């Protein structure tokens, strides 16, 4: 598609997974393209079921298998608009799931992921990939309200 449209803006539908372990920590990956942290996810392929795409992306990027996914939210709008370091521009619609039931061993996807690490909500890194900030802020709010409620 990019060969045809170049760097012009495209609507991109993503399927993503916030992995949360039993200690309340989430798994983030340091991306190789922008050196920012974010959760696993990527574009939904033609005719692909969104939940299957989320599971596929999680496995490809982290080596983990999602045994159970819970829909967390759909994030879109100006806050998720992004220009990649290579100049490709997208208006993201990110369908995000929470996964607390997973299996496998962590293995970073060599082509896209520099590092995988679990973080406590209060210790998330400052360098978050910009289009993922709205979902992670909502996740932190929900985590705080669970602790206080």
Annotated catalytic residues are 115
Per the structure block, which two tokens stand in for 68?
């159970």
DSSP 46-87: TT--HHHHHHHHHHHHHS-EEEEEEEEEEE-SGGGEEE-TTS
Residues 94 and 72 sit within 8 Å (Cβ to Cβ): no
Distance CA 13, CA 11 (A): 7
54 to each of 14, 86, 95, how far by Cα in Å? 8, 24, 9
How many C-beta atoms surround the C-beta of residue 9 within 10 A?
13
Residue 21 DSSP one-character state: -
């Amino acid at each position: 598609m990019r060969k045809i449209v170049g760097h012009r803006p495209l609507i991109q539908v993503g399927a993503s997974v916030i992995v949360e372990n039993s200690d309340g920590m989430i798994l983030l990956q340091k991306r190789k393209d922008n050196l920012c942290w974010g959760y696993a996810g990527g574009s939904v392929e033609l005719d692909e079921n969104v939940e299957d795409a989320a599971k596929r992306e999680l496995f490809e990027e982290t080596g983990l298998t999602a045994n159970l996914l819970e829909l967390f939210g759909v994030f879109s709008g100006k806050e998720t608009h992004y220009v990649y370091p290579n100049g490709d521009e997208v208006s993201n619609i990110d369908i995000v799931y929470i996964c607390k039931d997973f299996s496998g061993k962590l293995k970073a996807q060599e082509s896209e992921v520099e590092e995988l690490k679990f973080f406590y909500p209060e210790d998330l890194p400052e360098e978050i990939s910009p289009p993922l900030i709205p979902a992670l802020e909502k996740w932190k709010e929900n985590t705080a309200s669970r602790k206080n409620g």
